[in-house]
A = this chain, B = another copy of it.
Amino acid sequence: MNFICTKTELQEAISIAQKAITGKSSMPILNGLLITTCKNQIKLTGSDIDLSIETKINAEIKEEGSVVVDSRLFGEIIRKLPNDNINISTTENNSIEIICQKSKFNLIHMNAEDFPEIPNINENIIFLIPQKILKDMIKSTIFAAAQDETRPILTGILFEIKDKKLNLVALDGYRLALKSEYLNTENIINAVIPEKTLSEVSKILEDNDKNVNITFTPNHILFNLDNTKIISRLLEGEFIKYNSIIPDEFNLQVTAKREELLSCIERASLMAKDSNTNLIKLEIEENNMIITSNSQLGMVREELNILLQGDTLKIAFNSKYLIDVLKIMDEEEIIMKFSSSVSPCVIKNKDKDNCTYLVLPVRLLNN
């Protein structure tokens, strides 16, 4: 193997392919980056078996071949090299030689044959969605995925395609996040993607209108962006029928300024931090919401103007769940709908109806 490429492109490609590598594997080959030549380009691949990322850059190929190098060390070396052309070639003793200006590195490599095979995916049926829209959909839902593994399916995010819509859904037993966008397709898909995959995908997606192509197989999803392919296994099993969880009738509806409400809850939660429950209490009155919290350290009372339609209510929450939602939403005004102090609260934007958040209240003994 022998090729020349630019430092800038190589550094960028390493940082993309590295996103699949957890760095925690006890198998050295999984901490490695596969470098393969392919006419006029080199391909870098990182993989932790569940998730693989491959990306291509232009290169002048002098001799074909492929090797695996330690991802972290190779990345650090390239990053520290001067901004110029880099020549990389295999030498004897299972090494590669990296030459850039007057710098010369010899680095032990591993064998390309030992690298895990990347699933070959037939891109027959593809869905197109602008990068920035998918990026936003992931950001709007990923925080609600379950962190613990008691129900593994909930550690993933549901990709549901039906009725010309793509719905992303995450839920963890305490809260739910649903974001929907138009998708020009008659197909129907139900797939659950690991949270780790989408977290890395959202870092690679750019804030622009260029499309990302998505392909599903029974076991895998492929995100195809120009020079980069991200392939992930799907989670096995059936996702929860989320529609049956979201109530559609309510006894009261509150309209509030999102940032003001967020500030009040964040301050109230400072006192609640003492305990694990982050407990805050909401008293919803005619034109006011009063938020209180107390602990051994003291107490806090916040008050904000709201618009109430329907009954008054006293209800308690884990403040973290409300803060997560209010931080991620982007409209100036939001709507909260309630039925009772023991029923879920549904939060939506006041204007655009493309997201739904649900938070379960905390049941108080003396309510």
Contact = CB atoms under 8 A, between A and B. Distances in A.
A298 B263 contact: no
Interface string A168-194: 000000000000000000000000000
A300 B103 contact: yes
Contacts of A297: 70, 73, 107-108
Interface size class of A (residues with CB under 8 A): 20 to 34
A106 interface: yes
Contacts of A133: none
Nearest to A108: B298
B267 A302 contact: no
A303 B81 CA distance: 13
Interface of A: 70, 73, 76-77, 80-82, 95, 102-108, 263-264, 266-267, 270-271, 296-304
12 contacts: A80-B263, A80-B266, A80-B267, A102-B302, A102-B304, A103-B264, A103-B267, A103-B300, A104-B300, A104-B302, A108-B296, A108-B297
Given A77-B267, A80-B267, A82-B263, A105 B300 contact: yes
Nearest to A300: B105
One complex includes copies of this chain to the number of 2
A82 B259 CA distance: 12
Contacts of A103: 264, 267, 300-302
A76 B102 CA distance: 52
A103 B261 CA distance: 12
A298 B267 contact: no
Contacts of A81: 267
A296 B76 CA distance: 17
Name the residue among A73, A105, A296, A298 with the largest chain B CB count within 10 angstroms.
Answer: A298
Q: Which of A76, A77, A80, A103 has the most CB of B within 10 A?
A: A103
B263 A300 contact: no
Nearest to A301: B104
A105 B263 contact: no
A298 B104 contact: no
Nearest to A96: B298
